[in-house]
Amino acid sequence: MRRTRWFVWLVVVVAMVGAACGEADDPTTATGGDDNEAGSTTAAPTFDAGTTMARIQQKGEITVGVKYDQPGFGQQDPATGEVEGFDVEIAKLIAVAILGGDVDSVEDKIEFVESVSKNREPFIQDGRVDIVVATYTINDTRKQVIDFAGPYFVAKQDIMVRKDDTSIKAVDDLNGKKVCTAKGSTSEKNIRAKAPRADVLLFDGYDECKEALVDERVVAVSTDNTILAGYVDRSPDELKLVDNPFSDEPYGIGLKKGDEAFRDFLNDRLEEIFEGGQWGDAFESTLGQLGLETPDTPTLDRYGAAGGATTSTTGTGGTGGAGGSGSTSTTGASSTSSSTG
């Protein structure tokens, strides 16, 4: 009996120590400077009571869903526990506009939560996060359950093959071949639409796809060029990009459906950072490091009011003069499967 009791105490102690360690590892409590150029300090503005912005201001913290495994966009540094990337920078720039301060200090007021492709909608719907900035492609199916601000970036779907491969030059060449992409991505849909006879293998993430490509289990990996660039950057002797993009993937900021005021606020803020140059700086310090050139700023998609997945008003509501006059129209990509809510 005595021995059992001892054992129980031991288990309790171990569990408590474990919990304490877990807390210490929590990325949100980890601090530490990064080499971001110090932005200008802004005072927190005042918002109308009842708006999401006012609510976030009141709790003094914004909860943001980001990816933890996407090089260049949202990737956790295993040593420090901090997440870094373009999505993270965008989240900081949004946070500054609500909570004040500058992009470095505001980090303490952001709770980052890991969002994988599958849990993004439930996280938003349940209020687990205030916004999701996680390489989240705007599309009509998703617009039926959540809303999007943005796009803040337009990726293009491309193909990655082994360095010595010369047989694949365009998406058509994937027909009858084994192609890999990740579950829960729009990439799968695009491949099936553009190369219907391709044999699509789905893994949980792109690391597995890359491995399958190197192992010659598949002949190609296809997804957004920004993601592929990260892999080619790390293994230039093994892999290469076909560099013949076949679709636009407009990334948006996910928020609760029907929160028009918050969506307008986010769109206004995006416009501000497009024009103010912070967007470009964020790109250079993250995706730019992977060898990607800074593109033109995208055109905002201030689509019609809540209640439907209509895309008819795409873009038109955006006040003109968004820097760079976006080279790509997001209308095409977001209305490919036009359905009504």
Q: Is 27 in the site for another protein (CB under 8 A)?
A: no
Size of the site for another protein (CB under 8 A): 24
Q: Is 217 in the site for another protein (CB under 8 A)?
A: yes
Of the candidate residues 211, 272, 284, 296, the single one contacting another protein (CB under 8 A): 211
Give percent helix, percent strand, percent coil of the chain, each to the nearest 5. Answer: 40, 20, 40
Of the candidate residues 8, 18, 41, 118, the single one contacting another protein (CB under 8 A): 118
Structure tokens at 333: 């990509």
Judged by CB under 8 A, the chain residues 2 through 21 that form the site for another protein are none
Q: How far apart are CA 63 and CA 129, in angstroms?
A: 5
Judged by CB under 8 A, the chain residues 167 through 196 that form the site for another protein are 180, 183-185, 188
Q: How far apart are CA 277 and CA 332, in angstroms?
A: 27
Question: Given the complex with another protein, which of 30 and 202 has the nearer CB atom?
Answer: 202
Q: How far apart are CA 225 and CA 159, in angstroms?
A: 8
The least distance separating another protein from the CB of residue 73, rounded to whole angstroms, comes to 19
From the list 42-50, 93-101, 200-208, 230-238, the region that binds another protein by CB under 8 A is: 200-208
Q: Is 117 in the site for another protein (CB under 8 A)?
A: yes
Half-sphere exposure of 221 (CA within 13 A, CB side): 33
Q: Is 145 in the site for another protein (CB under 8 A)?
A: yes
Q: Is 338 in the site for another protein (CB under 8 A)?
A: no
Of the candidate residues 92, 142, 256, 302, the single one contacting another protein (CB under 8 A): 142
Q: Is 335 in the site for another protein (CB under 8 A)?
A: no
From the list 43-51, 142-150, 274-282, 290-298, the region that binds another protein by CB under 8 A is: 142-150
Q: Which residues pair with 83 in a beta bridge?
A: 76
- The identity of residue 272, as a single letter, is E
Of the candidate residues 70, 119, 278, 311, the single one contacting another protein (CB under 8 A): 119
Q: How far apart are CA 3 and CA 8, in angstroms?
A: 9
Q: Is 304 in the site for another protein (CB under 8 A)?
A: no
Question: Given the complex with another protein, which of 222 and 286 has the nearer CB atom?
Answer: 222
Q: How far apart are CA 307 and CA 141, in angstroms?
A: 13
* Region class of 222: left (phi > 0), else alpha (psi between -120 and 50), else beta: beta
The least distance separating another protein from the CB of residue 145, rounded to whole angstroms, comes to 5
The least distance separating another protein from the CB of residue 239, rounded to whole angstroms, comes to 16
Of the candidate residues 18, 32, 122, 321, the single one contacting another protein (CB under 8 A): 122
Q: How far apart are CA 219 and CA 169, in angstroms?
A: 12
Q: How far apart are CA 159 and CA 228, in angstroms?
A: 8
Q: How far apart are CA 320 and CA 171, in angstroms?
A: 35
Question: Given the complex with another protein, which of 48 and 237 has the nearer CB atom?
Answer: 237
Q: Is 44 in the site for another protein (CB under 8 A)?
A: no
Q: Is 114 in the site for another protein (CB under 8 A)?
A: no
Asked whether 140 and 339 are in contact (CB, 8 A), the reply is yes
Q: Which residue has the tokens 């288990």?
A: 11
Please count the other Cβ atoms lying within 10 Å of the Cβ belonging to residue 184: 15
Structure tokens at 239: 């892999």
The least distance separating another protein from the CB of residue 252, rounded to whole angstroms, comes to 13
Q: Is 69 in the site for another protein (CB under 8 A)?
A: no
C-alpha distances out from residue 213 to 49, 156, 178, 206, 222, Å:
53, 20, 10, 10, 11
- The residues near 9 (Cβ < 8 Å, ≥ 6 apart) are none
Q: Which residues of this protein are in contact with another protein, per CB under 8 A?
A: 117-119, 121-122, 141-142, 144-146, 180, 183-185, 188, 201-204, 208, 211-212, 215, 217
